[in-house]
Amino acid sequence: MSIETRPKNLPADQRRAVTVEAVIELTAEQNPGDITTAAIAKRMNLTQGALFRHFPSKDAIWQAVMEWVAERLLQRVDRAIQGVNSPLQALEAAFMTHIEFVVAHPGVPRLLFGELQRAEDTPAKRMARALIGSYRERLSELIDAGKACGEVAPEVDTAAAVIAFIGSIQGLVMQSLLSGKVGQMQANAPGAFALYRRGIRSVT
């Protein structure tokens, strides 16, 4: 069921969830910085007054959106790596899951980049930083576990390896934005991760 065809009289929690969904959809179509509350209300077939009955401000909407992104992405990554005994295989699972998430929600990278580049310290920006921090912690633990079991070379700098991991994903995202072919990320992801794995794995 599309947002436009959903009933207008929804419970508050559902209305907030539908608002987040509307913003996620809009970020896939235009620059997140250009999205207005009027555009969000129009997508939801509501008035701005009705929208602000559930959110006190636009910043509150953006905070809810970033909370949704952080929760969904980290949940997916955690499920992907759960029970995977090989740290390198777990890293690959996290990599592919992240790419799948971006393909499903192509506006999310623009949303994250936009928030992190804002001069003011908004709740959404703080949530974006917290998301990156939590993600880095997970990756660091996997890389250190790889060192401990001999899969990752002991001389690998963990912090640098985390940066390279995230940078590889960002590179695929940028290529997709330039080409306009979001789905191409999934085709290119295995090769990109293979290069990353070659750079950190132990040769013994």
Residue-level pLDDT at 183: 80
Q: Is the dihedral of CA 25, 26, 31, 37 positive or negative?
A: negative
Q: Of 17, 40, 55, at which residue does a domain stop?
A: 55
Question: What is residue 50's predicted lDDT score, i.e. its pLDDT?
Answer: 87
Specify the pLDDT at position 195: 96
| Contact (Cβ atoms closer than 8 angstroms) between residue 141 and residue 81 | no
Is residue 99 domain-shared with residue 87, that is, in the same domain?
A: yes
- 99 and 63 together in one domain: yes
**Domain residues for 157?**
58-200
Q: What is the pLDDT of residue 101?
A: 95
Burial status of residue 43 (CB atoms within 10 A of its CB: 0-12, 13-18, 19 or more): buried
Mean pLDDT by 10 residues, the chain (204 residues): 50 82 91 90 89 89 94 96 96 97 91 86 91 96 97 97 96 86 89 96 79
pLDDT for res 5:
46
CATH number reported for the structural domain that contains residue 172 in this entry: 1.10.357.10
